[in-house]
Amino acid sequence: MPLVKGRKITDDLYPHVADGAELPAEGNVLVSAAHFLENPEALFARQGKVGVIWPNNRDVDDLVPYLERLAVVALVFPTFRDGRAYSQARLLRERYLYRGELRATGQVLRDQFVFMLRAGFDAFEVTKESDAEAFAQTVQRYSVFYQPTGDGRITALHRRMQLRHSESAGL
Amino acid sequence: MYAYDEIDRTLVNERVAEFRDQVRRRLSGELTEDEFKMLRLQNGVYLQLHAYMFRVAIPYGTLSSKQLRRLAHVARRYDRGYGHFTTRQNIQFNWIKLAELPDALADLAEVGIHSMQTSGNNTRNVTSDQWAGVAPGEVEDPRIWSEILRQYTTLHPEFSFLPRKFKFAITASAHDRAAIKIHDIGLRLHKNDQGETGFEVQVGGGLGRTPFIGKTIKPFVHGRDLLSYVEAIMRVYNQYGRRDNIYKARIKILVHELGVEKFAQEVEEEWQQTRDGALKLDEEVVEDIRSRFFYPAYEKLPHMPDELRKAAQDPKFEAWRTNSVFPHKAQGYAIVTVSLKPVGGPPGDATADQMDALADLADRYSFGEIRVGHEQNLALPHVARRDLPELWKALDKLGLATPNVNLISDIIACPGLDYCSLANARSIPIAQELTRRFANHETANLIGRLHINISGCINACGHHHVGHIGILGVEKNGEEVYQITIGGRADEQAELGTLIGPAVKFDEVADVIEDVVEAYLALRSRPDELFVDTVKRLGVEPFRERVYATR
């Protein structure tokens, strides 16, 4: 499954270690939430960065104590129709100010890229190769956004205010 | 009227381009039907029994004559020459070809109409009182806030894949014409002691398989906090609403299972974290939206002009005026309801020719504005009373002056098994037969206000639970049978109807309704006791006896 980051297909630097499998001696790892919560300190003590795959039915509050030390949080879309991870993403970015990689995983399709970017995702395990290739083009579909989110794009309401103010200032 | 600016237009055009690309990928096989289904639903496209159905939003029920003409054009160019107005201020076209849909959308986008989120598990068209801005005694025009909500809910990055569909309705009048208590979020605009605008917030109303009346979770949310409070509700629902069972996925079930206090508390806790954030509406932003609604410059006109006095001698005109003409906030003006319920016709249908002609009449008599109500009728909101006789003649020629507004033949009905792939039973033929039975205007007038609502399946698109008389079609052993409820209502005193007895066969429905009505006429305490009040006073028992004694 291709990984898109920085709007292009890149190598995945976080090998997924299945539950029960042996951890590599060193290097980055991406582990399940259950695995991670068993002994987070042991994972952080290793040589290499840690990422966690967080299920969409578990409060992200439980992750808060570890956010500064986590390099990747991967949120799950079991199907693209299940939108819980959008709320989790916004909470991580906007309330808990998580700055590491926020990865979308599961059924990640082209027609959700813009929503995901707006919710704060910056890495995408894209289901189809053709969708991954179309990433850069697809995310330019929209230039107008009605809602404020943590991605900082200006909303329609505020753009109108700016236009109005610049008109009244005679600019 | 709200006028789109360049920003709104750009977004709608970008949406059309996106959908054109999605349709192209579906037709080329790049997208599977499973993947495409949700994308088309989010653009109002259903696959029905015979063809694709296309649902277009009419936000808060306000249309310009130019927009209505464009709907007529879509009906004529891409469909079979008619459209169907729904209970949620939408219009549906039943015979659209998938390959032509992007062009139809592009034609609509030119006049600021779209079909975004008229289906799918997202926030649907924000509906409101069809008399908004013209009703006497209204606190404030609720469409300003409806438009703010329309923008806020359109392509929301967090809430486009909710557990299930999600519907808002807003009213600002004491009499609720928007049925807010049967919506996921119902907002009642009112003012606090300081004279500031805010909303009583009701949550968890809805019909379908498990009907509930909405419950108040906060008596007053200040206007500036409307969006942050709504976002808190949606966020709680998005995270905790059930996704394991489609029939338990609406917010009403979450509110019911958590209990309203606990739900309100969850929302409150979430809201406290965000209420001072980016969603706070400052007065300037609200003013900007308000400034893009146009209000007509009314003339100073007499309440009782000569034209009206003269026309009052014509009993046919008077029959129409009494039932279709309503008080307006401006002296000398009236609100005119245009009945889409002709005797023998499918409720809520209008032909392309009727739409075009009505757009012309709106230009001549109603400052170019038309409204759509959840009862599946249209309205002309700014008619000078002196023009009523001429308008009536013109409407009558078009078959749009049936004098039955709010009477027994003003029936709400879903498309039913004639079109809908979810339906178990036919709705339209039942409605048609009932309008024939009660075609006599004297009889209908004698009966007085009585709403019959018909749904062809448990999903309740015809709002049968809240009809004064509700008719629900179900399938039993391969046969269509109908359950009859009485005593429901959808207004500020919303209530669910009560079943009067075992289901009856298709051929018996009209007879049973006649029996119910006869029982009412015999039981009412005075001629002006409405059907629904008699049921409230006596309960269903005397009606049950009457209907089933001989069956």
| CATH number of the domain to which B390 belongs | 3.90.480.20
B453 found inside a domain:
yes
pLDDT (0 to 100) of residue B308: 97
**Start-end of H helices in B249-369:** 251-258, 260-274, 283-291, 306-311, 315-324, 352-365
Q: Which residue of chain B is at minimal alpha-carbon distance from A138?
A: B18
Indicate the residue type of A102: L
What's the CATH number where B244 sits? 3.30.413.10
Pairing of strands B82-85, B62-64: unpaired
Q: Which residue has the tokens 């006429």?
A: B521
Task: Write out the residue range of the structural domain in which residue B484 sits.
Answer: 412-548
B424 with B465, same domain: the answer is yes
The mean predicted confidence, pLDDT, of chain B is: 96
Are residues B16 and B96 both part of a single domain? yes
B298 backbone dihedrals φ, ψ, rounded to 5°:
-75, 145
% of chain A with per-residue pLDDT over 90: 89
pLDDT for residue B49: 83
Residues B457 and B528 in one domain: yes
Per CB-CB distance under 8 Å, the chain B contacts of A145 are 155
Residues A108 and A171 in one domain: no
pLDDT band, residue A164 (cuts 50/70/90): confident
Note whether B325 and B343 are within 8 A (CB): no
Query: Domain check: are A101 and A163 in the same one?
Result: no
Are A148 and B278 within 8 A, CB to CB? Answer: yes
How open is the CA angle B100-B102-B103, to the nearest 5 degrees?
A: 65
**Interval B191-210 mean pLDDT:** 97
Does residue A170 register a pLDDT over 80? no
User: Does pLDDT of B3 surpass 90?
Assistant: no
Contact assignment for A109 to B154 by CB distance below 8 Å: no
Q: For the domain that residue A124 is a member of, what is the CATH number?
A: 3.20.20.70
Would you say residue B136 lies in a domain?
A: no
Minimal-distance CA residue of chain A relative to B149:
A146
Residues B482 and B521 in one domain: yes
Would you say residue B131 lies in a domain? no
DSSP helix/strand/coil, B495: strand
* Interface ipTM: 0.96
Looking at the domain assignment, is residue B522 inside a domain? yes
B179 and B257: one domain? yes
**CA of B162: which chain A residue's CA is closest?**
A83
Q: Note down the domain range covering A93.
A: 3-140
pLDDT in tens, B103-136: 999 999 999 999 999 999 999 999 999 999 999 9
Say whether B159 and A161 touch across the interface (CB within 8 A): no
Q: Rounded to 5 degrees, what angle do the CA atoms B265, B271, B277 make?
A: 170
For residue B311, the model assigns a pLDDT of: 98
Final residue in a domain of this structure, among B233, B265, B290: B290
pLDDT, tens digit (0-9, with 9 covering 90-100), for A98-117 = 999 999 999 999 999 999 99
| Domain match, B230 and B267 both | yes
Taking residues B285-294, report their average pLDDT: 93
Nearest to B175 by CA among B219, B130, B143: B130
Q: How far apart are CA B487 and CA B468, in angstroms?
A: 5
B97 and B173: one domain?
Answer: no
Please say if the pLDDT value at position A83 is more than 90: yes
Distance from CA of B155 to the nearest CA of A (A): 8
Cβ proximity of B53 and B94 under 8 Å: yes
Q: Is the pLDDT of residue B324 over 90?
A: yes
Q: Which of B8, B160, B273 comes nearest A83 by C-beta?
A: B160
**Residue B149: band (very low, low, confident or very high) from pLDDT cuts 50, 70, 90:** very high
Question: Does B244 share its domain with B339?
Answer: no
How far A84 CA lies from chain B's nearest CA (Å)?
5
Q: Which residues of B touch A122 (CB under 8 A)?
A: none
Does one domain contain both A124 and A170?
A: no
Task: Determine the average pLDDT of the residues in B424-451.
Answer: 97
Residue B93, pLDDT > 80, answer yes
Are B281 and B316 part of one and the same domain? no
pLDDT at residue B50, as a whole number: 83
pLDDT band of residue A171 (cuts 50, 70, 90) is low
- Give me the pLDDT at residue A105, please: 98
The total of structural domains in chain A comes to: 2
Q: Are residues A164 and A85 part of one domain?
A: no
How many Å lie between the alpha carbon of A139 and the closest alpha carbon of chain B? 11
Which whole-number Å values give the CA distances from A158 to A2, A15, B44, B223, B331, in the listed order?
A: 36, 42, 29, 18, 38
Kindly state whether residues B279 and B315 are assigned to the same domain.
no
Report the pLDDT averaged over residues A48-56.
98
Choose the mutation target among A146, A161, A166, A168 for the interface with B, i.e. most B CBs under 10 Å.
A146
Chain B residue closest in CA terms to A78: B243
B273 and B328 part of one domain: no
* Residue B432 counted as domain residue: yes
The pair of three-digit structure tokens given for residue B258, joined into one six-digit string: 């958590």
Considering only CB atoms, which chain A residues are within 8 Å of B18? 111, 141-142
CA dihedral B321, B326, B331, B333 (to 10 degrees): -60
Task: List chain A residues with CB under 8 Å of B160.
Answer: 83, 86, 115
- pLDDT category at B180 given cuts 50, 70, 90 is very high
In degrees, to the nearest 5, what angle opens at C-alpha A153 toward C-alphas A147 and A159? 75
What is the distance of C-alpha B333 from the center of its chain?
24
Nearest to A161 among B10, B121, B288 (CB): B288
Number of domains into which chain B is organized: 4
Distance CA B424, CA B427 (A): 10
Report CA A94 to chain centroid distance, whole Å: 12
pLDDT band at B436 (very low <50, low <70, confident <90, very high): very high
Q: Assess whether B429 and B393 both reside in one domain.
A: no
Helix axes B283-291, B143-153, angle to 10 degrees: 100
B397-428 burial, b at 16+ Cβ within 10 Å, e below that, comes to ebbbbbbbbbbbbbbbbbbbbbbbebbbbbbb
Whole-number Å distance between alpha carbons of B85 and B547: 33
Tokens matching residue B356:
């075009």
